[in-house]
């Protein structure tokens, strides 16, 4: 039925976003897709006004998905569709946090960025919205503790969400107590030795921050890998 409905798609409809289709289809296959009030809509001439991404995702998923369908819509409403504010990952995180704890979290956007960085550090694909906000809800206390332990830098841009994510993953794996001395050295810049790997990390992060002006900064993947290497070296020296 979804494939049949798609044959009635308006030629003037917006271009199909494969990224959106893939995300919808993944939710349908995983059983995360929910029935909402938003209907597939046809105008009085049986042209598909709204729903091409959902219908294409249904076809791709191969699943039966219940949806509401509206008929005889006014064609003049076509250019007013899909103009509402889309809920961001942090919006969903805030809603879930309020439902669980009865209060709003602080720095929701920053927390979700750290959660995304943590997930990308342990998996090969970019996490979707549901993975990110649910992980942020699960790990928000650990992330907050990590942020506080790292402290605010005089060069704030150096301790960004990617760096915090790498340290947070290490805290999750090794414990806060094991990681605290390393994070204190980053925070206070009181190095264990001249060749302290944390000192070298801080210097490279500062250089990357300055390089952003000329477009030569390190990528997120590079910053994450560099931070993990420094953490491993620091822990190795501590246990020697």
For the chain, give the percent of residues with pLDDT over 90. 45
Q: Can you say how many angstroms the Cα of residue 134 is from the centroid of all Cα atoms in its chain?
A: 10
> Which of 10-14, 102-106, 132-136 is predicted least confidently?
10-14
Tell me the helices (H) and strands (E) count for the chain, helix number first. Answer: 10, 3
Q: Is 25 left (phi over 0), alpha (psi -120 to 50) or beta?
A: alpha
Cα–Cα distance measured from residue 27 to residue 50, given in angstroms and rounded to the nearest whole number = 19
Say yes or no to pLDDT of 40 above 70: yes
Which single residue is written with the structure tokens 């271009």?
15
Mean per-residue pLDDT, 86-91 = 80
User: Residue 167: what pLDDT?
Assistant: 95
List the structure tokens of 51: 């729903």
List the structure tokens of 50: 């709204």
User: Residue 130: what pLDDT?
Assistant: 87
Query: Between 24 and 151, where is the model more confident?
Result: 24
Per-residue pLDDT band for 80 (boundaries 50, 70, 90) equals low
Which single residue is written with the structure tokens 């992980």?
135
Mean per-residue pLDDT, 101-113 = 90
**CA dihedral over 9, 13, 18, 24, signed as positive or negative:** negative
Bridge partners, 43 (sequence order)? 73
Mean per-residue pLDDT, 95-103 = 89
* pLDDT tens-place string over residues 49-63: 888 899 999 999 999
Say yes or no to pLDDT of 138 above 90: yes
Say yes or no to pLDDT of 85 above 60: no
**CA dihedral over 109, 115, 121, 127, signed as positive or negative:** negative
User: Residue 60: what pLDDT?
Assistant: 95
For 175-193, give the DSSP string.
-HHHHHHHHHHHHH---SS
Say yes or no to pLDDT of 82 above 70: no
User: Residue 154: what pLDDT?
Assistant: 42
User: Residue 214: what pLDDT?
Assistant: 66
Q: State the alpha helices, DSSP H only, in 123-196.
A: 129-150, 161-174, 176-188
**Structural element, H or E, at residue 71:** strand 69-73
Which residue from 188, 133, 191, 144 is spatially nearest to 167, judged by alpha carbons?
A: 144
Query: Rounded mean pLDDT of the chain?
Result: 86
* pLDDT tens-place string over residues 209-218: 777 666 677 8
Mean per-residue pLDDT, 182-209 = 89
Q: Can you say how many angstroms the Cα of residue 113 is from the centroid of all Cα atoms in its chain?
A: 6
List the structure tokens of 103: 């209060």
């Amino acid at each position: 039925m979804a494939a049949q409905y798609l044959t009635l798609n308006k030629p003037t409809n917006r271009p199909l976003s494969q990224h959106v289709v893939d995300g919808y289809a993944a939710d349908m296959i995983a059983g995360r897709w929910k029935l909402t009030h938003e209907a597939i809509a046809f105008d009085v001439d049986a042209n598909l006004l709204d729903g091409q991404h959902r219908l294409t995702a249904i076809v791709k998923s191969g699943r039966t998905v219940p949806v509401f369908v509206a008929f005889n819509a006014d064609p003049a409403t076509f250019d007013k569709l899909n103009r509402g504010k889309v809920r961001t990952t942090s919006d969903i995180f805030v809603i879930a946090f309020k439902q669980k704890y009865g209060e709003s979290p602080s720095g929701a956007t920053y927390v979700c960025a750290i959660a995304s960085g943590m997930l990308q550090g342990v998996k090969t694909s970019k996490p979707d919205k549901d993975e990110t906000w649910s992980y942020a809800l699960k790990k928000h206390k650990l992330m907050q503790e990590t942020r506080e332990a790292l402290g605010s830098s005089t060069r704030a841009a150096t301790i960004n969400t990617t760096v915090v994510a790498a340290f947070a993953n290490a805290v999750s794996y090794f414990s806060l107590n094991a990681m605290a001395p390393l994070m204190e050295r980053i925070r206070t810049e009181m190095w264990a030795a001249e060749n302290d790997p944390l000192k070298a990390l801080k210097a490279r992060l500062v250089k990357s921050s300055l390089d952003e002006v000329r477009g030569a900064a390190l990528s997120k993947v590079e910053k994450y890998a560099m931070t993990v290497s420094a953490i491993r070296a620091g822990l190795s020296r501590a246990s020697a």
